[in-house]
Amino acid sequence: MRRCQYTLTPQDVQRHASHVCQQHLQLRDHGPKCRASVLLAVLFYAAARITSIAAACAALRDAPSDQAVRDALLATLPQTHELQRRINRALACGLPRALKRRRQVVAVDLVLVPYHGEPLADPAEIYRSQPRHGTSHFHAYATAYVVRKGERWTVALTAVAKGEPLADVLKRLLRQAVQAGVRARYVLLDRGFYSVDVIRYLQAARYPFLMPVVCRGRKLDHPKGPSGTRVFATWKRSGWGRHTLTNAKKRTATVSICVKCRNYRGQWKRHGRQALVYGYWDLRPSSAPWVHETYRRRFGIESSYRQMHQARIRTCTRSPLLRLLYVGVALILRNVWVWLHREVLARGRRGGRIDLNQLVFRQMLVWLQHVIEEHLGVNDSVATERPLLT
């Protein structure tokens, strides 16, 4: 058994995270109080406490005011497309070479951040979707995600505008992943990408894919019987088929169908058989259970979003630039956490067995909080007009 020879300290983690962010985001000094190191410290502190920039500045004794921090960020940050490029470079920093040597299974999804306000300059800033969290307005972002031997990396990020075709979003995201050195062996997609345009793009670009099929057509209780993809949902046994989609412009796309039947087993207080319908192309699945288990790998991207929200700075700003920065900082910190487990905390040789319980993500954020509090101090007293009588 190897003896421990080194100690990972909160100061080490803070230095490495600051180096990665400053190297790629390239924040600049904005006056004597708003130096780049101070801006990063305030961003990390707000992310660690899942709070706003205003609350972070109020809690730190030697931090500048929240208005000064926002003015400094807006004055020094580049335009949206350039900031997005810098964030993607930071996400690609530290990716293991093993991810780049071979093609990887890439999961793609959208994350919607609720928004309760008006757009800043362009109505396209606000993405519309089904209501959740009391609103149908969101700032939307798409990410590409790779899982390899327990290592979960976010390799690309892009903002999504209102009305932007998902085929264009997917094309941009996969190109960013290629620029990071990650080539897709096949792509796992959410049912929201089930459309003619997305399927035709993936087929033209020669990307194999797997995604759930959206049930459309006449329902089972219709006098004429089910139609469209609802026919596959009525199957009682697993099987294979083909289906051709047609959109409003009469363009078509054909996909192979896999139906995986299983018992509800009391899930959602239901009993009987459940038919899971998947669409795929250019894959050679060995069985329906293989298709089901392969698609389950996509759910790891939901874990990345859960952790991203644990470090996403809260804000009510209308600026899409600042909102993109806050999401980017959260994902960069999460990739730093994954890098630490691979390069420092892995047992055995580098990249060996990984135990995520050695340093959970929230604990790493608490470490960052403590280091910044030591550096900038804490407001631990309140001025009053009368003494406390005991």
pLDDT in tens, 110-164: 999 999 989 998 999 999 988 888 899 999 999 999 987 778 899 999 999 999 9
**Given 247, 280, 304, which residue is the final one in a domain?**
304
Q: In whole angstroms, what is the distance from residue 247 CA to residue 351 CA?
A: 46
> What does pLDDT average to in each consecutive run of 10 residues of the chain (390 residues)?
74 95 93 92 96 95 94 93 96 89 92 92 90 91 87 92 94 95 94 94 96 90 87 90 92 94 72 86 93 89 88 94 96 94 76 75 95 93 84
Same structural domain for residues 63 and 196? no
Say how many CA atoms lie within 13 Å of 339 toward its Cβ. 20
pLDDT of residue 381: 84
In the chain the beta strands, taken as DSSP E runs, fall at 104-114, 127-132, 135-148, 151-160, 184-189, 209-212, 239-246, 252-263, 273-281
Q: Is residue 5 part of a domain?
A: no
What Å distances lie between residue 154 and 51, 224, 262, CA to CA?
23, 47, 32
Same structural domain for residues 167 and 203? yes
Place of tokens 């931090």: 63
Same structural domain for residues 68 and 189? no
Same structural domain for residues 74 and 18? yes
pLDDT of residue 2: 53
Q: Is residue 116 part of a domain?
A: yes
Q: Is residue 310 part of a domain?
A: no
- What's 230-266 look like in SS3? HHHHCCCCCEEEEEEEECCCCCEEEEEEEEEEEECCC
Residues 6+ away with beta carbon under 8 Å from 140: 110, 111, 112, 113, 127, 129, 159, 160, 161
Same structural domain for residues 176 and 223? yes
Residue 184 dihedral angles phi and psi, to the nearest 5°: -85, 130
pLDDT of residue 356: 75
3-state secondary structure of 117: coil
* CATH for 210: 3.30.2170
Q: Is residue 389 part of a domain?
A: no
Same structural domain for residues 162 and 45? no
pLDDT of residue 15: 95
pLDDT of residue 352: 59
pLDDT of residue 224: 86
Q: Is residue 148 part of a domain?
A: yes
Same structural domain for residues 352 and 282? no
**Model-level pTM?**
0.92
Same structural domain for residues 349 and 369? yes
**Given 246, 272, 304, which residue is the final one in a domain?**
304
Name which of 374, 368, 375, 370 is nearest 20 in CA terms: 368
Domain limits for position 70:
10-82+315-376
Same structural domain for residues 336 and 368? yes
Convert 104-122 to b/e letters by CB count within 10 Å (16 or more is b). bbbbbbbbbbebeeeeeee
Same structural domain for residues 327 and 287? no
Q: Is residue 387 part of a domain?
A: no
Same structural domain for residues 218 and 343? no
Same structural domain for residues 368 and 226? no
Residue 343 dihedral angles phi and psi, to the nearest 5°: -90, -25
Amino acid identity of 59? A
pLDDT of residue 1: 46
Q: Is residue 325 part of a domain?
A: yes
Q: Is residue 112 part of a domain?
A: yes
Number of domains in the chain: 2
